[in-house]
């Protein structure tokens, strides 16, 4: 059956764009990493396009690896702490949803609950927490660890972490603030709750010292592709950023995650699956392809080797570009993202060279690289949306803001002509614009009805 709802869209933000060579593009702002004006500009353009949100991907560590290569790729080496940035964006934008990654492996639930609740108030209901357990060893080195904790442990802690945060966000019920000056009572003590959580990983008394937020609680995003990742998403997430490998795999993933939701008492429509896609659009196919080639040619081979080393968890510093990929360097069991690892290994299994893999990766990255004319890109997005491989997309623009502008100028009118994307925001909060239901406070739910 044809869908009647609209596609959801978000801008994926690395400072200069998603492509590792984006900062070398003459249209990018080379000072942008520490310049709020640049990121506000990206936000304003996303908001003018009526996108649902802007997403600050993050990890609490600089990248590690070959220093020669690191010096050529600034993305992870110089960036804003995302919640500080979101606070500034909260008061300088009006409608755009604001999404940031925070890891459950290295924070405390009380801090995270408090930070996001504050930004939900500052933004009047537009914030979303992207819950990650982190997937690179370098994060552990900054937090008293020798690297990443094992995958199962990360998810065990992550699930308990989210439960505690949800519990803290329920500290004040809806309408708990009486603001009664006459009697000198600020809030209703019967609508104020202490969590008293004592679990395996956390002991948190509560309550949280900030009122229930405009969205009831901030929206939750998640991006795990593994079994425990999908379970966590089905239990708690309202947006899932998936790895867009191909339409069949994504349909199966979509179906798989949504099928798990009723067991958690959730309606599958309360979760929007948004694959990350890299968009290269041109007026003609040749123009689009030329944009891809321009950036790939700008990318130094050391950068390609470094990025592959990171995702394939193998040291590729010395490998020759024109030789077949050295399969014997691959780990038996990768610790990080399994889906991306498998996708890249599939590509080289047929004897392709290191140089070809770098080119493939540079074009596709962690998403499905879509290069073409506006009609071709709209066809691609429509098919994924209509056949339920996606409820929308997180758009990984190769360069910011120029590829975002290209998308808005060339693809968005075509999506709107086909009735696939909104003309105006439907609501004021991110939750309303995504069409998500309001969460019910756990304490209010369990109360005896009034007689």
Residue numbers at the binding site for ligand FMN (CB under 6 A) = 57-59, 101, 130, 132-135, 223-226, 229, 241-243, 276, 337-338, 366, 394
- Helix pair 247-259, 227-236: axis angle to 10 deg: 60
* CB-nearer residue toward ligand FMN: 233 or 410: 233
Length of the chain, in residues: 451
Nearest approach, Cβ of residue 264 and ligand FMN (Å): 17
Nearer to ligand FMN, 301 or 336 (CB): 336
CB 438 to ligand FMN: min, Å: 26
- Give the pairing of strands 239-243 and 392-396: unpaired
CB closer to ligand FMN out of 63 and 321: 63
Residue 226 marked as a ligand binder: yes
Q: Give burial (CB, 10 Å; 0-12/13-18/19+) of 430.
A: buried
Q: Nearer to ligand FMN by C-beta: 227 or 426?
A: 227
Calpha distance 166→193 (Å, rounded): 13
Of residues 60 and 207, the one with the C-beta less far from ligand FMN: 60
Q: How far is the C-alpha of 96 from the C-alpha of 89, rounded, in Å?
A: 9
**Smallest separation, CB 130 to ligand FMN (Å):** 6
Please name the residue that has the structure tokens 């349909």: 251
The answer to the question of whether 151 is labelled as a binding residue is yes
For the bound state, the minimum distance from the C-beta of residue 198 to ligand FMN, rounded and expressed in Å, comes to 27
Q: How far is the CB of 333 from ligand FMN (least distance, A)?
A: 12
- 58 annotated binding-site participant: yes
Least distance (Å) from ligand FMN to the CB of residue 226?
A: 3
Backbone angles phi, psi at 314, to 5 degrees: -140, 145
Provide the minimum distance between the beta carbon of 162 and ligand FMN in the complex, in angstroms, as a whole number.
13
Q: Which is nearer to ligand FMN, 116 or 172 (CB)?
A: 116
Q: Which is nearer to ligand FMN, 204 or 234 (CB)?
A: 234
Cis peptide leading into residue 4 (ω within 30°): no
133 annotated ligand-binding residue: no
Is 104 known to sit in a ligand binding site? no
Residue 222 to residue 217: CA distance in whole angstroms: 15
Nearest position to ligand FMN, beta carbon: 229
Q: Which is nearer to ligand FMN, 53 or 241 (CB)?
A: 241
Least separation in angstroms between residue 242's CB and ligand FMN is: 6
> What residue numbers does the annotated binding site for FMN cover?
58, 101, 151, 155, 226
> What residue numbers does the annotated binding site cover?
58, 101, 151, 155, 226
């Amino acid at each position: 059956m044809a869908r009647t709802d609209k596609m959801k869209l978000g801008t994926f933000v690395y400072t200069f764009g998603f492509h590792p060579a984006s900062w070398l593009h003459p249209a990018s702002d080379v000072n942008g990493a520490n310049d709020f004006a640049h990121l506000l500009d990206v936000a304003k353009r996303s908001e003018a396009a009526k996108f649902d949100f802007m997403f600050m991907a993050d990890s609490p560590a600089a990248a590690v690896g070959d220093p020669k290569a690191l010096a050529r790729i600034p993305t992870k080496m110089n960036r804003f702490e995302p919640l500080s940035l979101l606070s500034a964006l909260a008061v300088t934008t009006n409608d755009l949803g604001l999404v940031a990654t925070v890891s459950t492996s290295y924070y405390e639930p009380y801090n995270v609950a408090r930070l996001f609740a504050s930004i939900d108030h500052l933004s009047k209901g537009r914030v979303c927490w992207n819950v990650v357990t982190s997937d690179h060893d370098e994060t552990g080195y900054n937090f008293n660890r020798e690297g990443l904790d094992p995958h199962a442990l990360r998810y065990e802690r992550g699930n308990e972490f989210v439960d505690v945060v949800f519990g803290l966000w329920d500290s004040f019920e809806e309408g708990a603030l009486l603001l009664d000056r006459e009697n000198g009572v600020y809030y209703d003590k019967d609508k104020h709750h202490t969590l008293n959580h004592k679990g395996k990983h956390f002991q948190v008394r509560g309550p949280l010292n900030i009122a229930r937020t405009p969205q009831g609680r901030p929206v939750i995003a998640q991006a795990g592709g593994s079994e425990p990742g999908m379970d966590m998403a089905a239990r708690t997430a309202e947006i899932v950023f998936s790895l867009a490998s191909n339409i069949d795999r994504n349909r199966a993933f979509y179906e798989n995650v949504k099928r798990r939701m009723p067991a958690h008492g959730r309606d599958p429509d309360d979760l929007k699956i948004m694959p990350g896609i890299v968009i290269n659009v041109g007026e003609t196919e040749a123009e689009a392809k030329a944009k891809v080639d321009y950036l790939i040619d700008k990318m130094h081979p050391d950068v390609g080797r470094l990025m592959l080393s990171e995702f394939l968890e193998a040291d590729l510093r010395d490998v020759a570009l024109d030789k077949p990929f050295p399969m014997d360097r691959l780990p038996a069991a990768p610790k990080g993202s399994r889906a991306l690892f498998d996708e890249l290994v599939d590509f080289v299994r047929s004897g392709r060279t290191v140089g070809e893999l770098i080119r493939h990766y540079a074009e596709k990255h962690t998403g499905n690289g879509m290069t073409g004319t506006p009609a071709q890109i709209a066809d691609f997005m429509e098919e994924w949306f209509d056949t339920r491989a996606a409820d929308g997309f997180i758009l990984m623009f190769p360069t910011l803001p120029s590829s975002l502008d290209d998308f808005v100028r060339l693809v968005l009118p075509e999506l709107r002509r086909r009735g696939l994307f909104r003309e105006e925001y439907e609501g004021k909060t991110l939750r309303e614009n995504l069409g998500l239901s309001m969460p019910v406070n756990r304490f209010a739910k369990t109360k005896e009805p009034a007689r």
